[in-house]
Amino acid sequence: MNNCRIGVIGTGIMGAPIASNLLAAGYTLTVYTRTKSKADKLLKHGASWATSPAQVAAEVDVILSVVSDSPDVEAVYLGPDGVCSQLKQDTLCIDMSTIDPETAKRVGQQVRSQGGAFLDAPVSGGKNGAEAGTLSIMVGGEAADVARAKPIFDVIGKSVVHCGPVGYGQLTKLCNQILCGLNLLAVSEAMVFASKAGLDVHVMLEAVSKGAAGSWAVDNLGTRMANRDFAPMFMIDLQQKDLRHALDTARSLTLPLPGASLVHQLLAANQSAGEGCEGTQALVKTIERLAGICKE
């Protein structure tokens, strides 16, 4: 058994498998999430329940938070029953949410002012990567704190890159989301082009996946599009939140992002059609509707 006591705050699509892998690795786990039923499986496998982020902070050595957006992270750490109200000296706080970089800096400053350490460590790899323990982890913070977190990161990810000080993990993740969004659009357009031209989309994917056009998006999102599988590996609503943070940051830098802006608008059409909780691969349905193709 590992002696380090870990608290996991947030046991949704990403947090639950991350926590499960830590349990399997022998860590003692305390968990908190707003909807307790989402933690039932973890509790059955030996995790302890906390009634608030404050209680988590009082009981553990390391805190991992995996929640939806910047206001959620602020509430978890800075709220009346938040982590900082019961933060112990030298507690390592690792936020693995994808949030606005300025929020990461603000929360990190408060944690450090109270004697703790803070890393912003957003991840890429989706639900499948979280379940397999193969996430890519982009970390901002002090090198000594990254080294302290490395044994934990090695359980849940296959790639750990120290990107710079606090906030740089989030900035790097926004680069990741810009790339993911444009890859998503490329696959969607190729799928609709193939369908309109009369190709078998499965055959097309097999042909292109082995050449220069091959990518994670082709293999994972393209296959799901072809199979009309729109269950979320990563929800449209969350991708929209991430692109909003990227576009807001770009505006603060006086930087145009025409491609990311287009993807953001197209995914808004999915949201308007009631598809925000579907996987990002459902973008293909917006492109199909623009092309006059109706498959539903």
Structure tokens belonging to residue 139: 């970390």
How many whole angstroms separate alpha carbon 143 and alpha carbon 12? 29
Burial of residue 211 (CB within 10 Å: 0-12, 13-18, 19+) is exposed
* Percent of the chain at pLDDT exceeding 90: 96
pLDDT tens digits, 86-106 = 999 999 999 999 999 999 999
How many Å apart are CA 170 and CA 182, to the nearest integer? Answer: 19
Q: Are 137 and 71 in contact (CB under 8 A)?
A: no
Mean pLDDT of the 204-224 span: 96
What is the domain extent for residue 111? Answer: 5-165
Share of the chain above pLDDT 70, in %: 99
Q: Are 232 and 278 in contact (CB under 8 A)?
A: yes
The partner residues of 63 in beta bridges, in order of sequence, read 7, 93
pLDDT at 60: 97
Mean pLDDT computed over 104-115: 97
The position carrying tokens 């307790």 is 36
Residue 234 lies in a domain: yes
Number of domains forming the structure of the chain = 2
Give the residue-averaged pLDDT of 252-276.
Answer: 98
Domain-embedded: residue 296:
no
| pLDDT surpasses 60 at 1 | no
Domain boundary residue, one of 139, 165, 191: 165
Residues paired with 138 in a beta bridge: 161
- Of the pLDDT bands very low, low, confident and very high (cuts 50, 70, 90), residue 206 is very high
Catalytic center residues: 173
Within this chain, do residues 181 and 139 fall inside the same structural domain, yes or no?
A: no
CATH code at 147?
3.40.50.720
pLDDT level of residue 150 (50, 70, 90 thresholds):
very high
User: What mean pLDDT is predicted for residues 142-168?
Assistant: 97
Burial of residue 89, with CB atoms counted within 10 A of its CB: 0-12 exposed, 13-18 middle, 19 or more buried: exposed
Q: What is the average pLDDT score of the chain?
A: 96
Q: Report the pLDDT value the prediction gives residue 295, as an integer from 0 to 100.
A: 75
Beta-sheet strands, E only, within 126-258: 135-140, 157-164
The mean pLDDT of 264-290, rounded to a whole number, is: 98
In a shared domain, residues 210 and 249 = yes
Position 296 scores a pLDDT of 66
Residues 15 and 146 in one domain: yes
10 and 40, same domain (yes or no): yes
pLDDT at 181: 97
**How far lies 210's CA from each of 81, 190, 207, 214, in Å?**
52, 15, 6, 6
Residue 181 in tokens:
């969004």
Assign 165 a pLDDT band (cuts: 50, 70, 90). very high
